[in-house]
Copies of this chain bind each other. A is one copy, B any other.
Amino acid sequence: MAKTIKVVLAEDQGMVRGALSVLLGIEPDIEVVASAADGDEALRLVGQLRPQILVTDIEMPKSTGLELTARVRNLYPETRVVILTTFARPGYLRRALDAGAHGYLLKDRPSTELADAVRRVHQGLRVVDPGLAAEVWNAEPDPLTDREREILRRAGEGESTAEVAKALRLSDGTVRNYLSEAISKLGAHNRVEAARLARAKGWL
C-alpha cells in the first residue's frame, strides 16, 4: 500500500506510548513518524513533520491535549486530531470538539478501534465514542448551584460541617441545608457518595 498515513503520537506514559506506537506501526497504511511525552514537544513535532494525524492523550505535562488540539487547529489545520483518553466525561468531549478535535476515543475501547479511528479521521470523518456521544445529548445538566457545589467539594475532601461553615462564613445549619439539598439532588445517601457521584459526572 503506497498511501501511508503519517501519525504523531502524544502520550505521557512511556510504556503506553511505546506500545501504542507499535500497535499503530503494524498497520500497513499507518506510520508513526514521531512520539512525544508532553504537549509542547508534540506541538513542535507536528510543526516539523506535518503529519496527517495527531493522536493525543488529554492529561499530560506542560500543556494538555485540549490546549494542544486548539493550537494545532490554529497553526497546522491540515493535521487532524484524535483524542485518546481514559476519561469518559461529557465535559471533556465537549471541550475537545470545541477545540477542533475530529476524534474522541476512550482507552477502554478495544485496541483494534484505534487504527480504524485514525483511518476514518484521515478520510475526513468524525469519530466519537458512541456511548459518550449519546451522553452529551441527554447530558443531564449539573443540578447543583454554585454554593452547593463549593460546599460539597469541601465536604468531599474531608472538611467537617463546622470547618466549611467557618471557611465560607456561613452558619452551621446553612451548610447542612446545602449538603442535604445536594445529597437529595444527586440521589445519594450521604455527603461522601454525593461527592463521588458529582465527581464522576465532572461536576466538581
Does A158 belong to the interface (CB within 8 Å)?
A: yes
For residue A156, which residues in chain B have a CB less than 8 angstroms away from its CB? Answer: 192
18 example contacts (A-B, Cβ-Cβ < 8 A) are as follows A15-B20, A15-B105, A15-B106, A15-B107, A15-B108, A16-B19, A16-B111, A17-B111, A18-B23, A19-B23, A19-B111, A21-B111, A22-B22, A157-B193, A158-B188, A159-B193, A160-B190, A191-B192
Q: How far is the CA of A198 from the CA of B16 in the complex (A)?
A: 27
Q: How far is the CA of A12 from the CA of B106 in the complex (A)?
A: 12
Per-residue 0/1 for A105-123: is the Cβ within 8 Å of any B Cβ (1 yes, 0 no)?
1111111111000000000
Does A13 belong to the interface (CB within 8 Å)?
A: yes
Does A26 belong to the interface (CB within 8 Å)?
A: yes
